[in-house]
Chain A
Amino acid sequence: SAVISQKPSRDICQRGTSLTIQCQVDSQVTMMFWYRQQPGQSLTLIATANQGSEATYESGFVIDKFPISRPNLTFSTLTVSNMSPEDSSIYLCSESGSPYNEQFFGPGTRLTVL
């Protein structure tokens, strides 16, 4: 099973600033995913991150707001730019695994924007 770590685990940020979240997987994976979980809500996919190509964003999410990097097969970053209080959420990364295996999630980054 894959082990995924995220940094930071939590942060409190000021409006208008940006935060970069790191996601590290202990094995090489084809695709990584970034999800957002707003307070009391389910998980919403932000984007799919493929190594060597631009991330694919879901409706309602744009690259200028959530730029993603995927420099290799074990690492990805998500930046939350020009933050507002509405960005306060838990951000989770996950990996694709194989079509027959479960997907593993990082522990999440709890972001609070003041």
Chain B
Amino acid sequence: AQSVAQPEDQVNVAEGNPLTVKCTYSVSGNPYLFWYVQYPNRGLQFLLKYITGDNLVKGSYGFEAEFNKSQTSFHLKKPSALVSDSALYFCAVRDNTGGSTLGRLYFGRGTQLTVWP
């Protein structure tokens, strides 16, 4: 079965500092991994994905993530945090095993990122 773990409920970082939001996964087959962001009273917005290819993927708003197969991790990173990055971040893995659940996403519990000025 597919699953995702986000070990931190909250991450706090000062503006201008680098940030990391952690995610580890467990999948059958090749991992299709995603990061989404949710701002207050908003839906989920796609940030980036890893399907295949380079382990370092770049996404929206200056975010990037590093896929590490040996550590089964897909940590979200940004070199310099902004106050406006404060939001709830979800890591997700896609079910590609087939059957009736093909395409569904399994989400981590979310990490609240707070960037303080």
Which residues on A are within 8 Å of B, measured CB to CB?
Answer: 30-31, 33, 41-43, 45, 48, 56, 92, 94, 96-97, 99-100, 102-108, 110
Query: Which residues 63-110 in B have Cβ within 8 Å of A in the complex?
Result: 90, 94, 96, 100-105, 107-110
B43-A103 in contact (CB<8A): no
A104-B102 in contact (CB<8A): no
Chain B residue nearest in CB terms to A93 = B43
B107-A42 in contact (CB<8A): yes
B96-A99 in contact (CB<8A): yes
18 interchain pairs, CB-CB under 8 A: A30-B103, A33-B103, A33-B104, A42-B110, A45-B105, A48-B103, A96-B102, A96-B103, A99-B32, A99-B102, A99-B103, A100-B32, A103-B34, A103-B94, A104-B46, A105-B44, A106-B43, A108-B43
Chain A contact residues: over half helix, strand or loop, or mixed? loop
Interface centre among A42, A48, A56, A100 (most CB of B within 10 A): A42
A105-B103 in contact (CB<8A): no
A48-B46 in contact (CB<8A): no
Q: In whole Å, how far is A94's beta carbon from the nearest beta carbon of chain B?
A: 8
Chain B hits for A96, CB < 8 A: 102-103
Chain A hits for B51, CB < 8 A: 100
A56-B103 in contact (CB<8A): no
Which residues on B are within 8 Å of A, measured CB to CB?
Answer: 32, 34, 36, 41-44, 46, 49, 51, 90, 94, 96, 100-105, 107-110
B104-A48 in contact (CB<8A): yes
Q: A99-B96, A107-B43 are known contacts. Are A41 and B109 too (CB-CB below 8 A)?
A: yes
A92-B108 in contact (CB<8A): no
Q: In whole Å, how far is A102's beta carbon from the nearest beta carbon of chain B?
A: 4
Q: Which 6 A-B pairs have the closest CB atoms?
A: A96-B103, A107-B43, A105-B44, A102-B46, A56-B100, A42-B109
Chain B hits for A107, CB < 8 A: 42-43
Interface centre among A94, A96, A102, A103 (most CB of B within 10 A): A102
Chain B hits for A31, CB < 8 A: 102-103
Q: In whole Å, how far is A86's beta carbon from the nearest beta carbon of chain B?
A: 19
B32-A48 in contact (CB<8A): no
Chain B hits for A100, CB < 8 A: 32, 51
